[in-house]
Amino acid sequence: MTNTSDFAAGRLLVVAFEGWNDAGEAASGVARSLVETLSLEPVAELDGERYIDYQFNRPQVGLDDDGVRTLVWPRIQLHAAADAVTVLPRDPASPATEVLVLLGAEPSRSWRGFAAEIVDLIDVHDVTGVVFLGAMLADVPHTRPISVFVSSENEAVRDEYSLERSTYEGPVGILSVLADAVEAAGVPTLSIWASVPHYVHNAPSPKATLALIEKLDELSGVAIPRGELDAESTAWESGIDALAADDEDMAGYIEQLEQARDTVDSPEASGEAIAQEFERYLRRRDGKGGDGRPDDPRYPPVP
């Protein structure tokens, strides 16, 4: 893959949702990091009453800075730089990129209407390319590099990055619905998914967030700030090591995953295997109430 990109040049929208597509909060973690480090501000908000199921994504009550008790509602917001400052690429010879971020709770209903609104926002803000971020729970060990799967339904983007087209058939999430609508509107898209160890599904995974950022950095050519992610990733892995040291079953299971992973020469050489795992993950999420985790009796389903 190249470090410079015709796809990424211009106004690049990065999309991530909390929920189904966000194992270990990895995808939303990237989006939040971009909003913070690039000092982006909300420029548009989708109507939560139309798209969010508040029984699933409930509002939260808390105290504001003045000690006033207040409700905080789930939101879906588009963020952009107030003064349209571009993000400079690592290579001075490469074109600059302006990054926008769509972040919030995953919409629970009216997906067609939601997709139409996003397409309108893309048109209004002159977005030239869209990157969808996701993370899935998978049979992978925490001790190895996070597997990342990149795909696109756009032929020109696939040619640019030497990507294979996904052959998956089956149930999909909102990211696929949006990608279909955006591509139909004539804007190229790219999807990046990270595999998160399923046996640590309850905790945020900074290592997966870092893997997504590194891949986004590679594809866009933009030097994306890492913040404290390197140190947090090391601490995350060390914490799981400590837990496994006190649990023989868990340690044995992780060793099996390590052996399976080590049969692959390198993460870069395992594109087909990662794609197959991605497809298995989507089939597990077939609307039957699964949480995307493998059917391992040692790790009961998430309530």
**How many other C-beta atoms are found inside a 10 Å radius of the C-beta of residue 106?**
22
User: Residues of the chain with pLDDT > 90: what percent?
Assistant: 52
Nearest to 97 by CA among 109, 88, 105: 88
Domain ranges of the chain: 10-57+69-284
According to the model, what pLDDT value does residue 91 have? 54
DSSP for 97-163, written as a single string: EEEEEEEEEPP-S-HHHHHHHHHHHHHHTT--EEEEEEEEEES--TTSPPPEEEE-S-HHHHHHHTP
For 60, 152, 156, the CA distances from 221, given in Å and listed in that order, are 38, 18, 18
Report, in this order, helix, strand and coil percent for the chain, each rounded to 5: 40, 20, 40
According to the model, what pLDDT value does residue 88 have? 47
pLDDT in tens, 103-146: 999 999 999 999 999 999 999 999 999 999 999 998 889 988 89
Residues of the chain with pLDDT under 50: 1-4, 85-86, 88, 90, 265-266, 268-269, 287-303
According to the model, what pLDDT value does residue 291 have? 39
According to the model, what pLDDT value does residue 56 have? 87
According to the model, what pLDDT value does residue 4 have? 41
**How many other C-beta atoms are found inside a 10 Å radius of the C-beta of residue 114?**
21
According to the model, what pLDDT value does residue 97 have? 80
According to the model, what pLDDT value does residue 93 have? 54
Architecture in CATH for domain 10-57+69-284: 3-Layer(aba) Sandwich (3.40)
- Measured CA to CA, the distance from residue 142 to residue 200 in angstroms comes to 9
DSSP symbol at 25: G
Do residues 278 and 136 make contact, with C-beta atoms less than 8 angstroms apart?
A: yes
